[in-house]
């Protein structure tokens, strides 16, 4: 029996790999066509001060095709990277109790475990706290799809608020010989940052046929169903959240010109032109942005912008005629801009007058995501008959933890 089951698994893996290779080949061909068309467009602008309308349309079509193919490659890469989760490390009793609740709504076994002191996770607000393995699946699915989680710091907490003391400077130091006096040093200035966790929820629906299927992995189904909803809501909050029952987004702080930057504000560099890059030397603003953070923040820095801004930058060349945007060399890796990786976040604003459409910096140092331990699941078979709803909640917070690590590009004169 073991040998008879082995070939289908190998065959599925080979099909996925072939599909990914095809997607990569399509992308390479489209990118080559895009560069050829854009080179013609730039040559016409240089010689005639304008480009043919049809040529402009061709460049835009190819640009949009690159966006679609990039998304396809990312989806296939995530799909291929998912591990086989047929086995589980749950104890037999706990696994059976959780499965019984999800499939039939019978929580008596979970209550029995709680009475035995095994902490099945009965929640006072209704529903049950999912086992650690189920929570891990949801967290793993989120980390695979969330652009912010891929580059930010993530910390698990047990309370509703995470407080972090940080030094904002003022400490002094010096050199001294072996027997020299040591003058008293200045006490550093401290700031206490609060990261409260807001409630994030989703309500996937299942048919009773799925739940009755003893072979179906309902834990993985639940993780897959809430993944996209949680990821979209998280990303929107990490970008623009106002901090009220949700994280503080990177664009929700006071922005000041980087030359006047102080702790608690986010520094920005202006493009010099309202709602656009400068007509002459448009790349200079990006270079200024790269060198706005101190050197220690640049070694692991990333650009962050939406796909339309990426599409605009994809057309730029440096002084040597090389495109400043380059596609990823391998599947699952980000593209790069001027040598730094590009993270696509759809909630970043489009280029417009006074918009902050590009962020740059070391987000792992700069932005902190806090996950409160515990995912709660409430089974609801009544509200949407014949479907069974699973009201699933987790608590997430976030905000900037180092205001020197992240800089913004403002599309304005100053």
Residues 201, 241, single domain; the answer is: yes
Whether 176 is in a domain gets the answer no
Cβ contacts of residue 184 below 8 Å, gap of 6+?
A: none
Strand order, beta sheet including 340-344: 255-257, 266-270, 406-410, 356-361, 302-305, 340-344, 336-337, 325-326
Could you tell me if residue 184 is inside a domain?
no
- End-of-domain residue from the set 47, 81, 115: 81
pLDDT digits over 358-401, tens only? Answer: 999 999 999 999 999 889 999 999 999 999 999 999 999 999 99
**CATH number, position 204:** 3.30.2400.10
Same domain, 58 and 101: no
Are residue 24 and residue 164 in the same domain, yes or no? no
**Segments of the chain scoring below 70 in pLDDT:** 1-17, 75-92, 94, 112-126, 169-173, 185-187, 331-332
Tell me which residue range forms the domain holding 124. 86-169+189-306+345-414
Domain end, chosen from 36, 56, 81, is at 81
- β-pairing, 266-270 vs 255-257, is parallel
Based on the domain organization, do 270 and 398 belong to the same domain? yes
Of the residues 81, 114, 139, which one is the last residue of a structural domain?
A: 81
**Claim to verify: residue 18 and residue 41 sit in the same structural domain:** yes
Q: What is the pLDDT of residue 6?
A: 42
Give a yes or no: residue 413 inside a domain: yes
Return the structure tokens found at 186. Answer: 């200045």
Indicate the number of domains in the chain. 2
Domain presence at residue 286: yes
Do 214 and 272 fall within a single domain?
Answer: yes
pLDDT, tens digit, 9 for 90 and up, residues 216-256: 888 889 999 999 899 999 999 999 999 999 999 999 999 99
Residues 285 and 144 in one domain: yes
Residues 247 and 302 in one domain: yes
- Residues of the chain with pLDDT > 90, as a percent, come to 49
Specify the pLDDT at position 172.
Answer: 63
The answer on 149 and 68 residing in a single domain is: no
Same domain, 131 and 22: no
Same domain, yes or no: 48 and 153:
no
Co-location of 76 and 98 in the same domain? no
Is residue 24 assigned to a domain?
A: yes
User: Contact 369/148 with Cβ under 8 angstroms?
Assistant: yes
339 in a structural domain: no
Residue 398 within a domain: yes
Q: Would 203 be classed as within a structural domain?
A: yes
């Amino acid at each position: 029996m073991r040998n008879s089951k082995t070939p289908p698994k190998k065959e599925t893996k080979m099909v996925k790999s072939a599909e990914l290779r095809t997607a990569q080949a399509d992308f390479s061909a489209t990118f080559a066509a895009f560069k050829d068309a854009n080179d013609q467009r730039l040559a016409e602008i240089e010689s005639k001060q304008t480009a043919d309308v049809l040529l402009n349309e061709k460049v835009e079509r190819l640009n949009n095709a690159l966006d679609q193919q990039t998304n396809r490659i990312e989806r296939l890469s995530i799909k291929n990277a998912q591990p086989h989760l047929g086995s589980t490390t749950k104890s037999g009793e706990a696994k059976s109790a959780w499965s019984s609740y999800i499939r039939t709504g019978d929580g008596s076994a979970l209550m029995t475990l709680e009475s035995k002191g095994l902490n099945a996770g009965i929640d006072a607000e209704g529903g049950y706290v999912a086992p650690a393995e189920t929570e891990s699946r949801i967290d793993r699915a989120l980390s695979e799809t969330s652009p912010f989680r891929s580059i930010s710091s993530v910390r698990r907490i047990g309370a509703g608020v995470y407080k972090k003391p940080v030094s904002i400077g003022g400490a002094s130091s010096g050199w001294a010989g072996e027997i020299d006096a040591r003058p008293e040093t200045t006490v550093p200035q401290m700031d206490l940052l609060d990261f409260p966790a807001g409630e994030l929820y989703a309500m996937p629906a299942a048919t009773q046929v799925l739940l009755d299927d003893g072979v179906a992995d309902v834990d993985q189904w639940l993780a897959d169903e809430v993944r996209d909803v949680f990821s979209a809501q998280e990303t929107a909050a990490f970008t623009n959240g106002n901090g009220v029952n949700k994280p503080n987004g990177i664009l929700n702080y006071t922005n000041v010109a980087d030359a006047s930057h102080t702790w608690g504000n986010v520094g920005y560099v202006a493009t010099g032109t309202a709602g656009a890059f400068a007509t002459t030397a448009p790349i200079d603003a990006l270079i200024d942005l790269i060198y706005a953070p101190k050197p220690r923040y640049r070694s692991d820095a990333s650009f962050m912008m939406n796909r339309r801004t990426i599409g605009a930058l994809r057309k730029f060349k440096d002084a040597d005629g090389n495109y400043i945007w380059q596609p990823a060399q391998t599947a699952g890796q980000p593209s790069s801009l001027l040598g730094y990786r590009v993270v696509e976040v759809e909630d970043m604003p489009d280029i417009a007058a006074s918009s902050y459409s590009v962020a740059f910096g070391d987000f792992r140092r700069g932005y902190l995501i806090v996950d409160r331990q515990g995912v709660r699941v409430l089974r609801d078979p009544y509200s949407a008959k014949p479907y069974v709803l699973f009201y699933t909640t987790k608590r997430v917070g976030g905000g900037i933890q180092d205001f020197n690590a992240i800089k913004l590009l403002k599309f304005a004169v100053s």
